[in-house]
Structure formats: C-alpha cells, structure tokens
Amino acid sequence: MEREAVLVGIDVGTSKVCALIGEVGRDGRVTVMGHGTVPATGLKKGAIVNIDQTKRSIAEAVERAERLSGWKIDRAFVGVGGPHVESLNSRGQVAVTAHHREVTQEDINRAIEVARAVSIPNNREELHVERRGFTVDGQEGVKDPLGMSALRLEVETHIVTASAPSLQNLTKCVQQAGVEIDQLVADGLASAEAVLDGQEKELGVAVADIGAGTIDLALFIEGSPFHTAVLPIGGNNVTNDVAIGVRTHLLVAEEIKIRYGTCDLRNLVDEPISVAVPGDDQGRTVSRLELCQIIEARMREMFEMLRSEMAEAGRVVLPAGIVLTGGAAQMSGAAELAREVLQMPVRIGSPERMGGLVDTISDPSYATAVGLLHWGAAQVAAAETTRYESAPGRGVIGRLLSAIRNLFP
C-alpha cells in the first residue's frame, strides 16, 4: 500500500480517552498502526471539569499509542462532545458574477459566506459548515454547481457550533499533553464516518452514539448532515439506577449490568444474582428480572428522548432508520427496544473500512475514534483533489497552457 499520510484521532470521552494512529493509503483505506485507551478522569457528561486530570488522561493514551506504533504523535484530529454542541441550517444566495455566467469557486465561496452570516452568540464558535446542496436558478438538488451556467446560486449549509469556553478547555488539555490540533470534529459526525455507508446517508439515516455520559446524534438526508445534537444521558445513568435499585456501589452495578443486563424482558430467564453490598460481607441476592426492569426503564427513556429530539428536527423521513453505536449500544436487547420505541429500522453499528490492529477497536465503543481517522482521511483526499485541480494542466488556465504547449512542442 502506497502511503498517503499518517493521521491521529483522539476521542476524549466521559469514561475513556482513546488515541488512534492510522496510515492512510492512496486508495483511502485506513490501517490502524497504534492505539492507546485509558479510563478518563476529569470529565462529566462529555464536559471537562478538571483540566489537570483530563490532560493526564490524554497524555497517557497518546503515550500508549506511540509505544505500540513506534510513531511520535504531534498532531491529531480531536473529537468534541457534550450537550453544548448544537446545529442549525442556513441558506445563502448570490448572483453569478462571471461574464460568461458560469459558476466559479468564488461564487460558491461567496454563497457559503452569506449562509454563514447567521447570528451566533459571542460565547459560541463554529465547528463545521457543511454544504448540504445547491439550487441553481431554481433547480434544486445540485451537488456540485462548479462550471454550470447560471444567473443565481443558492446553497444550503449545516452549521455545527459549540461553546467557546468548552472548546478552549479541550484545546488547552490537548496542547498541554504535547499535541497540536489538526481539527476539532463533532463526535456525532465522526462516529457517522465510521459506521454509516453512502447509501444510508443518501436514503436518510440517523446515527446515535450512546456513550457513558451523552448520546451524540446526527441525522443525514440526501447524503449530508441535517441535524446534529448531543443529549445529556448515557450508560452511566443506567449504572446509577442499578446501583440505587439494588443498593450497591457503582463498580458492582456496572459489573452486573454488563454480565446479566438486557433490555429485552420478553425472553428473559429469571435467576437469582448475588450482589456485593457495602458494609455487608454476606451481600444480598436480587432477581435478574428486577435488575433488567431497572435497565429497561432507563434505556426506554433514552430512546424516548432520541425520538423527541428527532421529531424536533422537523418532518424528516429516514428510510434507512437509525444506527446505534457507542459503548452502551452493546447492551443486550438495545436494538429490539429501540425498534419498539422509535418505530423504525434499527441496527447496531461497529467501525468499518479499516485494517491493521482492529481486533481491540472493532466494537461500537470505538466508533468516534475510528471515525476521526476517516474524517482526517477525507480531508487529505480533499486537499489532494484541490492540489490536482490547481496544478498545471487542470482548470481553464491549465488547459490553455496545455494547448499552447501542444502547438509549440
């Protein structure tokens, strides 16, 4: 494989920090060369609450990835999560100014700038301005208007914003860990890169990355993001409910949740479960049915919140349904319960389209980290295309130069 670039993705989550080092081939395939995953400290519901602890977690994850791969990490694509991540859609319209009335890159850029001129509070920053589609003289559904004859050009954009102080804190932690930032990427959009395919995006699909502290949601229609949001609920809420319900501490609650838990009560075989209880050497026994009823109730609430959030995004039809990913999506029966609540197709999504050291990072909890590598690979490909198009022999000037060279060999 001819190497195009070596990229790094860092997912700073509520429960873990993961650093991945990937090699991108000329064919766009990502090969994972190193990974480092450590328990996260200093974060709550995706937000940094302790700078020093978060910095140490990032530095440790980076160090482990470096040791495994033999590469030194100095730059990375970094995921952004937390309920402060929001989105909106905006349109911009301009007159095509070129004398030959063909849409140029300058016209496209001007239309995007008009769309970006929306009122955003001073305490928020733009993370992404994604082009959803163009309208050329009233003709909708144009993906790339470059070179088309037109009088007016309109673009619809999807703008993702985040809290400026939150972004500054994250940037500070990453930089203090010795890493510069290539780009900050919304976790939901990164996860989508890892678990969705192009056909699903074209049909209409949602991806919900259910982490420990939050759910990162992204809706796609006609190949582009339409709605991005983060819900302040996750797997830790289930663990907390279990700890309260069976009267034990969090570590034991997490253990029995993973070992015995399910969201599907229809096919449940009840059995007694021994639970360690603080201050009681004998412990106690609870029924598996009691445990799973607690789990099912909280997971049902999560999916109801997802349903409400998706409804607020507008009257959107998603023929490809929703793809659940993230650590908490691995709960037994999650897909079945989601189908019942959301009334749409549901599948569990794991990271795809990668090679190398994939055994330990192929489960849904690594969707964001792998997606950051795919996002970076797409940026590399876009930059390469830009260089190719602007090289001698490409574009109007390039073709003219080629014609002159052919006349005078």
How far apart, in whole angstroms, are the C-alpha atoms of residue 385 and residue 54?
37
Do the Cβ atoms of 263 and 336 come closer than 8 Å? yes
Does the CA dihedral 324-328-331-334 come out positive or negative? Answer: negative
For CA atoms 266, 269, 271, 277, the dihedral sign is: negative
Find, among 39, 23, 21, 130, the residue nearest to 76 by Cα: 21
Q: Are residues 158 and 220 in the same domain?
A: no
Total residues belonging to the chain: 409
Q: pLDDT tens for residues 324-338?
A: 999 999 999 999 999
Residue 259 lies in a domain: yes
Looking up residue 327, the CATH number of its domain turns out to be: 3.30.420.40
Within a domain: residue 377? no
Reference 221, options 166, 140, 152; nearest CA is: 140
Which helix (DSSP H) or strand (DSSP E) does residue 336 occupy? helix 334-342
**Segments in the chain below pLDDT 50:** 1, 388-409
Q: Which two tokens stand for residue 186?
A: 């919304």
Residue 132 confidence (pLDDT):
93
The predicted structure's pLDDT at residue 385: 60
132: containing domain: 86-163
DSSP 402: H
Question: Given this model, what pLDDT does residue 392 score?
Answer: 43
- Check whether residue 152 and residue 205 sit in a common domain: no
Burial of 24 (0-12, 13-18, 19+ CB in 10 A): buried
Its pTM stands at: 0.90
Place of tokens 């494989």: 1
Say yes or no: 262 and 124 in one domain. Answer: no
CATH of the domain at 142: 3.30.1490.110
Q: How many domains does the chain have?
A: 2
Is 232 in the same domain as 345?
Answer: yes
Q: What does the alpha-carbon distance between residue 232 and residue 336 come to, in Å, rounded to a whole number? A: 22
**What pLDDT sits at residue 3?**
58
Same domain assignment for residues 223 and 304: yes
Evaluate whether residue 304 is within a structural domain. yes
Domain-ending residue, one of 309, 325, 349: 349
Domain boundary among 163, 188, 221: 163
Residues 123 and 209 in one domain: no
pLDDT attached to residue 391? 44
Which tokens in the block code for residue 253? 């609650």
Do residue 258 and residue 340 come from a single domain? yes
Q: Is residue 317 part of a domain?
A: yes
Residue 402 confidence (pLDDT):
38
Does one domain contain both 336 and 212?
Answer: yes
Last residue of a domain, one of 111, 134, 163: 163
User: How many alpha carbons fall within 13 Å on the CB side of residue 73?
Assistant: 36
Residues 109 and 233 in one domain: no
Q: Are residues 111 and 243 in the same domain?
A: no
**What would the two tokens of residue 22 be?**
């990937």
CB-based burial, 26-61: b 16+ in 10 Å, e otherwise: eeebbbbbbbbbbebebbbbbbbeeeeebbbbbbbb
- Does 329 lie in the same domain as 225? yes
Q: Which of 206, 215, 185 is nearest to 372 (CA)?
A: 185
Same domain, yes or no, for 221 and 312?
A: yes
DSSP states of 149-163? B-SEEEEEEEEEEEE
Domain-embedded: residue 213 = yes
Residue found under tokens 């050329």 = 136
